[in-house]
A and B are shown apart, each in its own frame.
Chain A
Amino acid sequence: MTQVIEEMKETTKNVDELTKDDAALTLDSVTYAYRDGKKRDVLKNVSASFARGKLYSVMGKSGAGKSTLLSLISGLDVPTSGTVSYDGVDLTKMNRDDYRAKSIGVIFQAYNLLTNATVIDNMVLSMKISGVKGKKKELAYELLEKVGIDREKASRKVLKLSGGEQQRVGIARALAHNPDVVIADEPTGNLDAETGQQVMEIFQKLAHEDGKCVILVTHSNQVARATDETQQLTSGRLSTPKKNRSAA
């Protein structure tokens, strides 16, 4: 094992590339335009890297392209030019279904739950797709418990939950298959201060204790301050990361 790492270090030419290889996610000159005819670049030449064990936040005005950025990271779409790589492999060169199913957990701004199915069914279905082995229901209840959804609520249809509750189900679902990378679009947008705080603690624990790479998109300065690094997305361009004092 150590020998392998030694070999890897030997073949590595410089320190800069070494850090790149360590990153879970790397964006290299990513440009993106929606194929709706207007051809307006939503993302312009964005480069960034996100490492495991760290909690990141991306901020920006509404319409700045934050959700678009996340959709590229989650492999739901591919850049017009440039590359998004996971563990050094270009996403366009891998099976992105498998990537989504196993490596990454996405908490969508609009939750994207199956609203006519029960909470627990949503959870179990997602776990099945991801190929989670073992007692799925038990694990699902455990995760839901962590985000404050009890068994009674878990047996309800998603439709019959409040926005905040749905958001928390979305979080639980994203974590259900124990993904390497967690990305969340406004995960606390619909939560009160106290629940928001609890959820933030979950993300911090995921990054710092479980060694995941966690990226949050947020409008809230308070949420941003609770992350390790914050980057601003302004009209398609990403600023250099700013380390947050509390996390440093």
Chain B
Amino acid sequence: MGVVLALIIAAISVSVLINMTTSAVIADYRSRFGSEVSLDMNYQRAVESGQSEAYEGVEGVDEIPPQKYMEFAKSDYLKEVQLTSSTMIDFPGLKALDEVPEDDMIVRGMLIGTNLKTISSEFEHGQRRIIDGRQFAASGEVIISQQFAELNGLKVGDTIELNRGNDKPLQKMTIVGIYEDNTQKDGGAAADFMGKNPVTNRNNEIIGTIDNAESVGSLGAVSAKFFLKDPAMLADFTKEIQAKGLPNYYDVRTDEAGFNAVVGPVEKMSKVTNAFMVVVLALGGVIVLLMSTLAIRERKYEIGVLRAMGMKKFKLAAGFVTEMLALTALCLVVGFGVGAAVSQPITNSLLQGQIEAAQQTAGATSQTMEAGGLPGAAPLTALDKVDISLSAGAVGEIALMAILLAVLASVVSIVSVMRYEPMEILSDRN
């Protein structure tokens, strides 16, 4: 009885621990993905509403003026805004990578303006890496690529002058750091189909604050990421920015697909363990019921003898219940220990199975998909690791279920004690 009970509790522990952890993970990602708002033009609706020039959007011309983004950013519904501006620039007197000398280009590079949070994710994910100096921190500070620096013999502390081409006023910026770009070491994906172009070469990007972009006179193309304080605020936020001038042929959405790509396997696993828990609990209940019925039947004689000696029913029942609780407590410790020990490996293999299943059904693309926003931003990889943690809540829930089983077993013994008449038990044996 004890061993079986311990096993049942172990199985319950495993499923509760996995469930608790995964639901926490899911909730965490839900709030992260659920809070990220994207503004996407709905071309069909744009055309329907008579916006013929909406087709230009296909070409990548942003219909929303940069200033609007700045306006949208000032909303009480947002907890965070990530803004990135990309202004085409030139740096007279310096060479650009992928430059074709005979092409007389007006601009040969990009000035990226950003708040640090945006760019830091690229650095965190290893797409870019500071190899000299430091990250920019104030307006007037920029970081440049290693290749660009080598090409022009620039080093940390040097200043460079930028403008928007065509003899526009020059702005002085100080190089505070040199980065290495890992995404375009050999040309990069963009260069492959667009042809070599200095403007699209990430190594020609000069990165600094949004203020820098404003100082050269244009924010250029602005991409913005808005993060809601609460996913439920989406509708209110949509209303607000539409009032501020967002055309109604823009979809305001949260990133459901991204969420699914990352958390989908975890969510599926959570469903599996949930079902498992229900089965274990139901099966465990039946087993405990059966076992305690058998156990009490074996002890029927004992009940008869004790009752014949004048022991009161409730005292006898209390004795059995106490015994049952003690046994459950012991099994809880053992079962929980075993469950806690095996739940991490079980999680890993379950999750691996779900990820493989996801890959098979949707092809490799579903596991890795491009996130919007920055060019070459972190690809979304399905979450392949869930660290099982022992929360007080999980322990409580497991204990509760163990107690539930103990109660079930106790009910059996109480009912038996109440039902059996000592005379019947003893004469049965005679």
Contacts and interface: CB of A to CB of B under 8 A. Distances in A.
B309 A100 contact: yes
A21 interface: no
B308 A76 contact: yes
A114 B310 contact: no
Contacts of B426: 76, 108, 110, 112
Contact of A129 (B302, B304, B306, B423): B306
Interface string A101-132: 11000101110111000000000011001100
B311 interface: yes
A97 to B, nearest CB: 5
Contacts of B185: none
B216 interface: no
Interface residues of A, number: 22
Contacts of B310: 97-102, 129-130
Nearest to B310: A101
Contacts of A74: 308
B239 interface: no
A84 to B, nearest CB: 13
Contacts of A99: 310
Contact of A101 (B311, B421, B429, B430): B311
A45 interface: no
Nearest to A77: B423
B338 interface: no
Contact of B309 (A77, A101, A109): A101
Given A67-B430, A99-B310, A100-B309, A112 B423 contact: no
A71 B426 CA distance: 10
Contacts of B313: 97
A129 B309 contact: yes
Contacts of B177: none
A108 B301 CA distance: 14
B311 A129 contact: yes
Interface in B298-318: 302, 304-313
Contact of B305 (A71, A101, A102, A114): A114
- Looking at chain A's contact residues, the main secondary structure is helix
Nearest to B314: A97
Contacts of A109: 430
B308 A97 contact: no
B422 interface: yes
Contacts of B307: 97
Interface string B147-173: 000000000000000000000000000
B295 to A, nearest CB: 14
Contacts of A126: 309
A164 to B, nearest CB: 18
Contacts of A106: 308
A1 B310 CA distance: 31
A100 B309 CA distance: 6
A112 B430 CA distance: 9
Given A112-B308, A114-B302, A129-B306, A76 B422 contact: yes
Contacts of A129: 306, 309-311
Interface string A134-177: 00000000000000000000000000000000000000000000
B300 to A, nearest CB: 12
Contacts of A97: 307, 310-313
Contacts of B423: 71, 76-77
Given A98-B310, A102-B310, A112 B421 contact: no
A133 to B, nearest CB: 16
A163 B308 CA distance: 20
Contact of A110 (B302, B306, B309, B429): B429
A113 B301 CA distance: 9
A97 B429 CA distance: 21
Nearest to A110: B430
B246 to A, nearest CB: 82
Nearest to A122: B305
A126 B430 CA distance: 21
Nearest to B313: A97
* Residue among B310, B311, B422 facing the most chain A CB atoms (10 A cut-off): B310
Nearest to A106: B308
Interface in B276-310: 302, 304-310
Give the interface centre of B305, B307, B309, B421 by most chain A CB atoms within 10 Å.
Answer: B309
22 contacts: A67-B427, A67-B430, A71-B423, A74-B308, A76-B421, A77-B421, A77-B423, A97-B307, A97-B310, A97-B311, A97-B312, A101-B309, A101-B310, A102-B310, A110-B426, A112-B304, A112-B308, A113-B305, A114-B305, A125-B309, A129-B309, A130-B309
The list of the 8 closest CB pairs from A to B, nearest first, reads A101-B310, A100-B310, A76-B423, A77-B423, A129-B311, A97-B312, A129-B309, A97-B310
Given A102-B310, A112-B305, 11 more contacts: A67-B427, A67-B430, A76-B426, A77-B421, A97-B310, A97-B311, A100-B309, A110-B430, A112-B308, A112-B426, A126-B309
